[in-house]
Structure 1
């Protein structure tokens, strides 16, 4: 993955159609986002990609290499033309909105650097994205996914089976993002067989406390006992077959195999276990504000989407069971 420093490379290598001053500015912007705003590497990668696509479009649209002066001279119609092109490329409103957010962020950075007024970007509305409801697993399916017994048929080392089960159990049992689970260290491991808490590092480098039920703590301990690697307290809690940091892709592939074995839909991803955690808590009477804290959402409105999921489930029960439905 490209780092922010990579964007100081010559324009013809990374951003065809962008003038040298523009390439240098993109590099400074990405370094600023990484060091000052502390955005995650994945967000940096996505923002950098969106701006490169935008600059490539502008080069074709304007018929010249895009310089900082050309950027300052844009009109709202130029930005709207870019959004129309992305829509024609098949992007959904949500992805188009993210691309516009990236370009706006870059334009604000240029304004702060004294590169001119970038009024064209503020004059364009963000496309409205329809609310996309999370797709949680049913309780029975979620329990199957986190069970090591579901993998007994696989030609896989027992410690790897135990590791994957422990990771998936954390995602469902504590509502973690996969990056949060894989960011844990050996010293963070909960006491086996006991209900406790974990301190996890979430989005925006914010820490929060999450509960760990006894079954999840036991699953983690089972994995650690079988793990063949000698690991220190600051080493990753979950490691790959060579003893290094476990890649999220490995857990995603494990989930793909489980989908086939258990007949689950394509929406059954590792992140769906986090959705399942929130939805099942809400369905059992969990308080929305508490669920917000457990998930690490900055805004309650983000958590409120799960109320729509729970209502949708209730309506399905009503429609299938009520004699007059």
Structure 2
């Protein structure tokens, strides 16, 4: 199989992604790195956040390699890498305070790039496969109490911070989708006006990780929240426009919603773990505690593997153990 030159591949797909710079690599290696990022977006439909993280991780490796080898890293540098070189990089990152999870992602990104070069006949990936990934501690998702999660989806709480009524309704509706339907923040903000679950439409089709579409049920209170927002929204939203818009009418930024939740933490006295994503965790945890089927929850969350969803069984077991210890006469 033949491959187009990296410059042509990057140029052909450049409108889809702003190709990052990869200094201090040589021009040939930098071009291949740009082609790799573009290919991840075009072929594997990796999210922008994933692409930004992988590009940043590769730049950090290239900066290390420039010092480690005493010159700008080139394609030959990566071809001649030894496992000891990769371990030295990981040790340097660890010494800089980088945790195991970040190291795992960084090694995965470098391995992906090495395999990309190998497919193009420009490198080898065996050296990255020979390096053992660090073990990351398994952290349980931080679910919120049901009362706190419900309070975060009320426009009244958001309006108390001085937000305009339509903006308070907008933020409440978006957060309602996170807690009431288990959506990721990117999935909720990716909905168009034409896809809005309002009226008799009680489902929504969302584009999840890996470009996978799934259809999820949307309960009546969440639909009513979206309808209340649309009734107050000062912008006429055509079917193809974003459902959730900012103050100037453009697509709503996730950062705006994150800041709204940060203000809610202060207003409602919530812990630092109360984030938009915590609402998604709360959705799964509360469903499971009410007898929800694990495989059904997997489908609702859009998890590719059941093992990812099974972590919520540990969350529920921990909650039950805490309740037992606090309530039983001999639990103390």
The residue matched to 2:206 in structure 1 has which SS?
Answer: strand
Paired with 1:294 and 1:324, the residues of 2 have a C-alpha distance of 39
Matched, 1:302 2:315: no
> Displacement of 1:101 after TM fit?
0.4
CA contact (8 A) 2:192 2:240 kept: yes
Cα shift at 1:195: 7.4
Cα distance, 1:6 vs structure 2: 2.6
Q: CA deviation at 1:257?
A: 0.2
Q: How does 1:312-323 map to 2 (within 5 A)?
A: 312-323=318-329
The aligned runs of 1:1-325 (5 Å cut-off) are: 4-7=17-20, 14-192=21-199, 196-325=202-331
Q: How many residues align?
A: 317
Once the 2 structures are TM-superposed, how far is the Cα of residue 16 of structure 1 from its aligned partner? 3.4
Question: Displacement of 1:191 after TM fit?
Answer: 2.7
Measure how far apart 1:116 and its partner are: 3.2
Flag the 1:74–1:307 CA change in 2: closer, same or farther, 3 A.
same
Relative to the length of structure 2, the TM-score reads: 0.93
**Residue 17 of structure 1 contacts residue 56 of structure 1 at CA under 8 Å; is this kept in 2?**
yes
1:5–1:190 distance in 2 versus 1, CA, 3 Å: closer
Q: Deviations over 1:104-157 (max 9, x none)?
A: 000001111111333211110111111111001000100111111212322221
Partner SS for 1:199: strand
Q: Matched residues in 2 for 1:64 and 1:120: separation?
A: 21
Q: Secondary structure at the match of 1:99?
A: helix
- Tell me how far apart the structure 2 counterparts of residues 191 and 265 of structure 1 sit (CA, whole Å): 32
CA contact (8 A) 2:198 2:226 kept: no
Unaligned runs of 5+ residues in structure 2 are: 1-14
For residues 175-215 of structure 1, the C-alpha deviation after alignment (integer angstroms, 9 at most, x for no partner) is: 000010011111112234x6711111111111111111111
Offset, 1:5: 4.8
- Deviation track 1:210-236 (CA, whole Å, cap 9, x = no partner) reads 111111111100000000001111111
**Partner Cα separation in structure 2 for residue 184 and residue 5 of structure 1:** 23
- What whole-Å deviation, never above 9, does each CA across 1:266-318 have from its counterpart, x for those lacking one? 11000000000000000000000000000000000000000000000001101
Does the CA contact (< 8 Å) of 2:169 and 2:229 recur in 1? yes
How far 1:36 sits from its partner (Å)? 1.2
Q: Quick check: 2:207–2:213 contact (8 Å CA) kept in 1?
A: yes
TM-score by structure 1 length?
Answer: 0.95
